[in-house]
Every structure is written in C-alpha cells, then in structure tokens.
Amino acid sequence: MRTCAGACLAFAVWPAAAQTPPFPKEVIESGHQYFEQKCAFCHGRDAGGGESGPDLTRSKIVADDVKGDKIGPLVRAGRTEKGMPAFSVSDMELAGLAAFLHTQKTIAESQKGGRRGVDVSDLQTGDAAAGKAYFNGAGTCSSCHSATGDLAGIANKYQGLKLEQQMLFPRDAVAKVTVHLKSGESMAGKLAYLDEFTVGLKDSDGHYHSWSTKQVSFTVDDPAAKHADLLAKYSDDDIHNLMAYLQTLH
C-alpha cells in the first residue's frame, strides 16, 4: 500500500552536468547499487540480460534515453503484463540508474563477440530443503502462500524459466487503485497506467479514466507488490534454493 499526492514524487536530484556523459563515478555507483538490489535478478548483474529479463545494453529504450527520460517512465509504469514490475524510483535513483545503464551499454559495445546470457541448467542447482526453510522463514512466503494450498501443484503449472519468472514477479496479479478527486469524490478500479504525470484506471465497465497526478491523490493496492520488495532481499542462492523447492510441489 502506498499513498502519493503529486508532491511526494519530487526528490533531490544530481546536478544536470552529472547526468550526461562522462558520468561521475558516484552517480554510476549509486545506480549500480540500486540495480544490483532491484534489477539484477532479471536483467543480469551487468545488465547484459538474465534469466527472466532482456539485455538492457541492447535496448532501444536505453539507446534513446537522455537523462532518464525514456528509462524513467518505463521503470515507473513497468510492463506488468510482460513481467516487468513497476518501481517507484526517486529522481535521484533514476539519474543513477540511467548513468549505470548508459555506462554498461558503452562497456558492452566495446567488448566484441562473447555471447552472454545464463544457462537454464543453472536453475537446477539449488537445495530444496534450504528453499523450504527459506519459504517458511526468512523469505516470509508462507505468510501469503501455502505449499499444500494455493501453491500445491505449482510445478505442474509452470516449469523452468516460466516458474522462476512467476515466482519473482507474478504477472497476472492485478493492482487496484483508488483516486481521490479534489471535489471530494473518489473512484476505484484496476490500475491501468501510472507514471510521474498520469494515473489511469479501468472501471468495472472497462472504461479508461485518467488524471494528472498533480490534480489528485491516489492509493495503490498491489497484492503482489511484496514480490517487488522481496527482490531486494534474495541472494542468488535463495532463488536457486526456492526454485528447487517449488519444483518439488507437484
């Protein structure tokens, strides 16, 4: 649950000169840290593509981006139907992310050949008992899920990468939003669009409505948002162990 009036989107930001190449080391490093925590599981540590996210060093969005103007809207809105979660990055975090991604792109382009990517067999290296302990303990998974309830048979429903993607970020979960208008009225529905400037919803008749984020306040209730928070907690071992455990749930 997160509440936002337009104002909470305004944060401190790096000076303009720090947001164009050559990027200062501390700007790149701030982006690198954020990326490792929230993005590397899917896009790979070097942004060169991972088990469930594309190679960002070859992304057109990154290529066209200047000072986060293309990366920002995408990261803040996500493409949830395609497995890319939405993140509420501050302007400062965004500037760091953009500097990091542009730098990784330059590095990748300077290295010829050398196919990167991950091996699907890497998904099979975990320890199921450790995964079970994590599921019921530090991972807090059992506070929402049960191995004999909603996740029973999950290994039959999805295999391999598909299972990992669904575990990292369940793409079918629908977020709800309530928008409070200045008139005192409010309107609720499925979250259909969200970036720094616009919030949009679909009402129960399937009609789309949108507002400027400066004109309204709104509350987003995303039942799977916890999954985006958890991304910052997992180690690679945790993920492989969880995968091994989930694969025993037939």
Q: Which of 76, 170, 176, 188 binds ligand HEC (CB under 6 A)?
A: 170
Write down the least CB distance from residue 51 to ligand HEC, Å: 9
Write down the least CB distance from residue 159 to ligand HEC, Å: 12
42 binds ligand HEC (CB under 6 A): yes
Tokens 């309107």 belong to which residue?
187
The pair of three-digit structure tokens given for residue 58, joined into one six-digit string: 């070859």
Question: 152 by DSSP, 3-state: which?
Answer: coil
161 binds ligand HEC (CB under 6 A): no
Q: Which of 28, 44, 49, 75 binds ligand HEC (CB under 6 A)?
A: 75
Q: What DSSP assignment string belongs to 30-47? A: HHHHHHHHHTHHHH-TTS
Identify each DSSP E strand in 42-184 by its residue range: 176-180
- Mark residue 153 as left, alpha or beta (left: phi above 0; alpha: psi -120 to 50; beta: remaining): left
Distance from C-alpha of 57 to C-alpha of 129, rounded to nearest angstrom? 36
List the interface residues with ligand HEC, window 177-206 (CB under 6 A): none
95 binds ligand HEC (CB under 6 A): no
Q: Which of 77, 95, 123, 168 binds ligand HEC (CB under 6 A)?
A: 168
Distance from C-alpha of 161 to C-alpha of 154, rounded to nearest angstrom? 13
Write down the least CB distance from residue 182 to ligand HEC, Å: 32
Query: Max CA-CA distance within the chain?
Result: 59
**Residues binding ligand HEC (CB under 6 A):** 38-39, 41-43, 52-54, 56, 59-62, 71, 74-75, 79, 82-85, 87, 97, 135, 139-141, 143-145, 150, 154, 157, 166-170, 172-173, 223-224, 226-227, 230-231, 242
